[in-house]
Amino acid sequence: MAQRQRLIVGNWKMHKTIPEARDFVKQFSGLLPKSHPAKATIVLAPPFTVLSAVAEAIKSLPVELSGQDAHWENLGAFTGEVSVSMLKDAGCRYVIVGHSERRRYFGETDATVKKKVAAVLRHGLRPILCVGETWEQRSNGQTEQVLSGQLTEALSGVEKDRAADIVVAYEPIWAIGSGRPATAEQARDAHRHIRATATALWGQEAGGRLPILYGGSVTPDNIGEFLALGEVDGALVGGACLDPVQFAKILAVAQTNS
């Protein structure tokens, strides 16, 4: 089995002002384990307005920064948008693309997600590509079809030597914010299918290097069950990452779980 990076990503979504963000980092820094090297890479994805403040606050911490979204063009007349080069300038190393909330509320398609993945890679950052099915699609037996379609479109044109630069997050839409996470069996099967799809695109070796995270109602109580699955390489955390204590508990499990 290929050795893959473990990541714990906290997506703050539309939460926290600059003072609140600084207070979070101050509390969180005191909860970080002192032993190194860490088993898991920690990534925070704050709103655009607090990126610079968080970048400054985490400067001496083993924490990476991520944007929550990005436009595919480098600059231009796109009011309200943020480019990958702007995120890079603000200190980001990662960019979340294709989140289900972007798809649902803002009309993002697999075609636009593909352009965003390409833009993130072009600027030397790492896309965290979100894929997932609705409850209706799962009930109709379409989960694998949906995941294959989203992945194949988003990753078409990406060379296999960039596989290790991409992170995929499986987020069953019905589990996000619902308090009803996927079962271990559901997560395992979806992750296996994602891996198989990546392998079909890039071959066994490159497909085996792709980190795949689970997202959807992740908590300190269930993260261990997911990480115990060999198919799950980490988590994209929503609500639980807004509380530094809860997020630190999730991280502590990820650091000790083999």
Is 101 marked active-site?
A: no
Catalytic annotation, pick one of 64, 71, 99, 123 = 99
Catalytic annotation, pick one of 64, 108, 133, 171 = 171
- Rounded to the nearest 10 degrees, the angle between the axes of helix 143-155 and helix 110-122 is 40
CA dist 46 to 51, 197, 205, 230, Å? 6, 30, 33, 29
Q: What is the largest CA-CA distance in the chain?
A: 48
Q: Is residue 129 helix, strand or coil?
A: strand
Cβ-in-10-Å burial (0-12, 13-18, 19+) of 147 comes to buried
CA dist 163 to 110, 145, 166, 209, 225, Å? 18, 21, 6, 7, 26
Is 15 marked active-site?
A: no
Catalytic residues: 99, 171
